[in-house]
Amino acid sequence: MATDMTSDPMHGAVTDNAWQPLRSFTAARIGLGRAGTSLPTQRLQEFQLAHARAQDAVHQPLDVESLTQKLAQLPWPSQPTPLRLHSDAPDRGTYLQRPDLGRRLHTTSQQRLSQYLATGAAPIDLTIVLADGLSALAIEKNALPFLQQLLPALQQSASPWQLAPLCIVEQGRVAIGDHVGESLAAHCVLVLIGERPGLSSPDSMGLYLTWQPQRGLTDATRNCISNIRSAGLTPQEASRKALYLLTEARRRQLSGVQLKERSDQDNLEYASGDNNFLIPSG
Amino acid sequence: MALVNQGFQFKNRVGEVTFGFRNLAELMARATPARSGDRLAGVAAANAEERVVAQMTLADVPLSQFLTDLLIPYESDEVTRLIIDEHDTKAFAPISHLTVGGFRDWLLSDLATPQVLREVRTGITPEMAAAVSKIMRNQDLMLVAKKCRVTSAFRNTLGLPGHLSTRLQPNHPTDDITGIAASILDGLLYANGDAVIGINPATDNVSQACRLIHMVGDIIDHYEIPTQSCVLTHVTNTLEAIELGAPVDLVFQSIGGTQATNDSFGVNLAMLSEAQDAALSLNRGTLGNHVMYFETGQGSSLSANAHHHLDQQTCETRAYAVARKFNPLLVNTVVGFIGPEYLYDGKEITRAGLEDHFCGKLLGLPMGCDVCYTNHAEADQNDMDNLLTLLGVAGCNFIMGVPGSDDIMLNYQTTSFHDALYVRRVLGLKAAPEFDAWLRKVGINLDTESFRLNPHVPDVFRPSLQHLLGER
């Protein structure tokens, strides 16, 4: 796969980059070559196609029926049916321009949560919320593999977590998790949400954790784990990080900037030159 | 006259109709060129006519009124206290008699030379800058910004006239060291990275920040690159990294224009001051001691419900008072990242980018701009080409550079390494002088006058590349 770095890389108008094979180490658009100092036609059109696909992903609706069927595979205590909820944003067009509506539950959804509480459910430690966010595709692809890792770990914990039924929210933003958590009087909420689609990643899922969720909280009270997808953070890794944050949040009764994510503290020590191919080893 | 009785501080009779504005904040908001964030906040003008009448009314407001008619109370907001307590009355004297409209005329006139603009800088408050920008056309914003020269220095000199620098942004979705190094190499070989090599970490914790700070520091040391590194993590993480002995060049923080916005970011002025002192104590700059890198963006206050019913551009400009306090190397308005609920389309993004660059420069900040958009905004590469070119004309200090415009970690599109070379070529702009000399020394640029890149990999990078990719 090595590229000849000494012969003439210029073929007519386009200059190729000898470091183009580095693409095997990253999805970043490196080594694109150049026409003068501009993008060659082929690279330009690859970009335009990716942008078209990402724009389309924003508008794809969440298939709640199919998602619910998939979630039935989960090792879930007593298998409660997920609660299907909707934000105050009636459609995608409104959702995109009115984030305030995407952060709060529609009245009928609030009633649904009140009814659940009225059944005399045990006090809830943790509510897990799945929201479409800006990419329903991200939830459809990543929510199940992640929960297959996290749920057994929560049940095997030294002090097991009392969980609410899964909540699936359509047209939801991150902060809607706080509204759900508050409505269920949960100690903690974990939101799984579709992140804004990138050109190379229309399917990236993010996690947001809030301790003592209530409406009106800001980002400073949340902890985030992002880029969960097949070519990003694996479900195993994401689950490990989430479990660490959940455990620490419960131990210290807080979340946000005061709760730093230190699950990697012991195994990420950097040795000079380590893995950095630009620095000669030895 | 009925309007006076209804509690309108400002009124303006135009033809048959008298328009009223309840207070200065409302007048500023109604006068702001149209954008979705102000509609979302419910503070925008109801129609085009009301907007222009508000602009005409605003033009008659004396600049001195902004020193007493405070948009957010002094008692409840530390950003207001900063603006008022640090106002330089002596510097303000030459413009103290002007109205907002008169200020626009003065800024455009030959009285306002680069030297004079430098002298009045500390007499101008963010609210004065925001007000005058609202009655300026795009060409006014560019013309005056170009006269406001702001340079800063750490290991090189940024912001000199005729120069445009780039932040090399080699983000990777899992912070993979080889992936990040590959993007850094790509950027350097495309003559980018003189403003900073700055990574947004995917995992935001102290150990990860330390790992990445070491990694970029090693590259800068080994190749003797006249630039600086930064890992864009929370200020408290950077402080801890410094305590752990990490070689921190620049302290990063996102900031906003109200105390409540900064609360939402988990920061305040005292924390920023502590971090600045810690970075200064490392004494790592060779040409200057500007150690702070701030990012801002219209809409952050509203997003945190911390806008006090001000328009988003006024909130943004108040953030520049926070930045100004800490002598930054770089201030970057991330103009299109926040999404269409704040800046709907290419036209609104363009206007906001020019406003932010102008207001920052007028207040004396080393302004750069992340010329960018997300996939849910009504914008595309052509809109970015336009704003990039306009900012190049206006004398913007720096822009971003990512491989192929695609940030694979933050999931948005910003300017590419190629884009930087386009704007340098078309406008005859150069990289920072020390970095430019390095590009020639190591053989990346064959000829900086015509911006001709070496078609071959320069010798200094060849061994690493061959080691990784295999010998030929």
Angle of the B24-31 helix axis to the B312-325 helix axis, nearest 10:
110
Partners of A270 on chain B (C-beta within 8 Å) are: 210-211, 214-215
Q: What is the pLDDT of residue A265?
A: 47
Residue A189: CATH number of its domain: 3.40.50.11240
Give residue limits of the domains in chain B: 2-146, 152-453
For residue B17, pLDDT over 70 is answered with: yes
- Positions at the binding site of B for adenosylcob(III)alamin: 201, 253, 303, 409
The answer to whether the CB atoms of A226 and B375 lie below 8 A apart is no
Domain annotation covers residue A69: yes
Partners of A39 on chain B (C-beta within 8 Å) are: 404, 416, 418
Chain centroid to CA B424: 19
Q: Find the closest chain A residue to B381 by CA distance.
A: A48
Q: Find the closest chain B residue to A40 by CA distance.
A: B418
Distance CA B340, CA A168 (A): 25
Distance from the Cα of A65 to chain B's closest Cα (Å) equals: 25
Q: What pTM does this model have?
A: 0.87
Q: What is the pLDDT of residue B108?
A: 98
Whole-number average pLDDT of chain B: 96
Distance CA A244, CA A240 (A): 6
For residue A132, pLDDT over 70 is answered with: yes
The answer to whether the CB atoms of A1 and B469 lie below 8 A apart is yes
Yes or no: say if B249 and B291 are a contact pair by the CB < 8 Å rule: yes
Percent of chain A with pLDDT strictly greater than 90: 69
pLDDT tens for residues A260-276?
766 554 444 444 446 79
For residue A16, pLDDT over 90 is answered with: yes
The answer to whether the CB atoms of A22 and B185 lie below 8 A apart is yes
What is the gyration radius of the CA atoms in chain A, in angstroms? 22
Rounded average pLDDT over B425-443: 96
Partners of B41 on chain A (C-beta within 8 Å) are: none
The answer to whether the CB atoms of B456 and A9 lie below 8 A apart is yes
For residue A6, pLDDT over 60 is answered with: no
The answer to whether the CB atoms of B470 and A2 lie below 8 A apart is yes
Q: What is the pLDDT of residue A200?
A: 77
Q: What is the pLDDT of residue B240?
A: 97
Supply A79's token pair.
């298998």
Q: What is the pLDDT of residue A266?
A: 41
Q: What is the CATH number of domain B152-453?
A: 3.20.20.70
Q: What is the pLDDT of residue A9?
A: 73
Rounded average pLDDT over B299-319: 96
Rounded average pLDDT over B235-248: 97
Q: What is the pLDDT of residue B472?
A: 45
The answer to whether the CB atoms of B375 and A227 lie below 8 A apart is no
For residue B252, pLDDT over 70 is answered with: yes
Partners of A8 on chain B (C-beta within 8 Å) are: 455
Q: What is the pLDDT of residue A269?
A: 44
When pLDDT is cut at 50, 70 and 90, the band that residue A56 belongs to is confident
For residue B94, pLDDT over 60 is answered with: yes
B381 touches chain A (CB under 8 A): yes
What is the domain range of residue A173?
58-252
When pLDDT is cut at 50, 70 and 90, the band that residue A78 belongs to is low
Rounded average pLDDT over B420-445: 96
Percent of chain B with pLDDT strictly greater than 90: 92
pLDDT tens for residues B47-89?
999 999 999 999 999 999 999 999 999 999 999 999 999 999 9
What is the gyration radius of the CA atoms in chain B, in angstroms? 22
B472 touches chain A (CB under 8 A): yes
Domain annotation covers residue A166: yes
For residue B331, pLDDT over 70 is answered with: yes
pLDDT tens for residues A101-115?
999 999 999 999 999
**CB-count burial class (<10 Å; 0-12, 13-18, 19+) for A65:** exposed
When pLDDT is cut at 50, 70 and 90, the band that residue A165 belongs to is very high
Domain annotation covers residue A28: no
For residue B437, pLDDT over 70 is answered with: yes
The answer to whether the CB atoms of A19 and B181 lie below 8 A apart is no
Report the alpha-carbon angle A202-A208-A214, nearest 5.
Answer: 135
Rounded average pLDDT over B238-255: 98
Q: How many domains does chain A have?
A: 1
Q: What is the pLDDT of residue A270?
A: 46
Rounded average pLDDT over A131-150: 96
Q: What is the pLDDT of residue B169?
A: 98
Closest in B210, B406, B456 to A199, CB measured: B406
CATH 1.10.220.70 fits B2-146, yes or no: yes
